Amino acid sequence: MQEETRKNLEYVQRVLTDVRKYMDAASVLNYDQETICPPKGMEEQGEVMAFLENQAFRLKKDPAFLEAAEKLYLNREELDEFDRVMAESLHREYQNTKNITPEKQEQVAKAQNRAFVRWLEAKEKSDYSLYRDNLKEVRDLSVECAALRENALPDSYDNMLEDYGRGIHMKEIDGWFSRVKERLIPLLRKIQASPVKIRRDFLSRPVTDEQQRQMADYLMQVIGYDLTRGALALTEHPFTSSLGRDNVRITTHFHPDAFASSMYSVIHEGGHALFDQLQPRENYDHFIEDEKSMGMHESVSRFYENRIGRSREFVHLIYDRTREIFPQVMHDVSEEELYQALNIVEPSYIRTEADEFTYSFHIIIRYEIEKALMQGTVTMEELPEVWNSKYEEYLGIRPRNDREGILQDVHWTFGFGYFPCYALGNMYNAMYYNRMKKEMDLPSLVAKGDFAAINSWMAENVFKKADRLSPADWIRDITGRDFTPDDFLDYLEEKYSEIYQL
């Protein structure tokens, strides 16, 4: 390494150390805001978060930092693999934010915070009109910032999608989702016509918060989530937050008449947390711990939630403990009845509560609405009606109010482009599951709760290179194949044809 490159690297690392401190502090405040912050303190706390994030942004806009970072990029062949990834990431970020001033960044952060606070109020009151203007502000700023990128793509929505997965744009997603609809819509109709009736009455039997907390503690222990480096709190919309190398926290919610909701929220968020807890320590040393795409992240959370968590073997593993913790629920429920109920196909309004089969339609609906919203073919005023009509078109149900319709998800308060990641995640994990089961007796490991072996395989094959590869290269590195949705669609067809005796 040339001396100049070494000095630039050391300087960039010093600045990024300070950037990380600001961002970690903002993340702690965000975790607090979404868990225990009192309602009247949320907007003020959001202002502090916006200030901290803006301080980090200003550090990275300093001319000396930009010069050093760009020189690293130009001389990246002198760097090791981890630092080369960092230099390339900083270059992409520079291209995206070169024309965005600190003042504009702060405006965006404050607008998103206001939208979040208004969304909470609007959802509680089931009144979209309380949130509409804030959502429009976030949309307008998102489009404006997308157009300011140095190498902006022609369509603003493609720029937003790029933020969540390099190389993934509308053209690709349209093709993948078209195949999903082609194969799953006819299968859904067959399932709905099946004479098989699955018992589900016990899923809504009342439980206490304490029982749900006991179950959450048990499930975190089962999957191997390290509580010496994590924590669990309650929130309106469950999420995972990485606050540092050894501080990866998750959240859930407790519903007195839906005990399975919290169970699978904990497993889902626990999957996200395992990804961060088990990634290479070198990622933090080289400031690339957040380079993985959100499609990669959702593949892991939904791998643990569905491919593992809704399998026969996992239900067998947790059945006795479930009976112990929820005796008033499970006293007359067999293991097979629990398995079938946790895999029932039943169109519903709420994405996070959706069954594994119909979940893809919830994502397609949001993707189609986002695309229309960015392209100006639907207005803010029309959104609730467009949303409700799409639910009727795809799932045959129509939301009865804004809370179970347009207001159910928090994501749009922070921008657009995330939702496709959930569906892509299902498709990614179906591909690496098929490799995994060739190399280990996965059903046996799940049935006996050997998550140490499962997590070890995931760490070596799925987590290890995620921050260093594009999504396309990453899934090819794991499986030896190019990305395809077919593994996931094959899995759904096989599993649900068996359950519904098609």
Q: Which residues are catalytic?
A: 269
Phi, psi of 221 (to 5 degrees): -65, -40
CB-CB contact of 291 with 89 (8 Å): yes
Q: Is 252 left (phi over 0), alpha (psi -120 to 50) or beta?
A: beta
Q: Distance between alpha carbon 219 and the CA centroid of its chain, in Å? A: 19
- Other CB atoms within 10 A of residue 437 CB: 12
> How far is Cα 300 from Cα 264, in angstroms, rounded to an integer?
13
Q: DSSP readout, 120-170? A: HHHHHHT-THHHHHHHHHHHHHHHHHHHTSTT--SSHHHHHHHHHSTT--H
Alpha helix (H) residue ranges in 75-128: 81-97, 102-125
Phi, psi of 250 (to 5 degrees): -125, 165
Instruction: Give the chain's length.
Output: 502
> How far is Cα 273 from Cα 425, in angstroms, rounded to an integer?
15
SS3 state at 260: helix
Spatial CA neighbour of 372 closest among 204, 170, 103: 170
In the structure encoding, which two tokens stand for residue 306, read together?
A: 């569905």
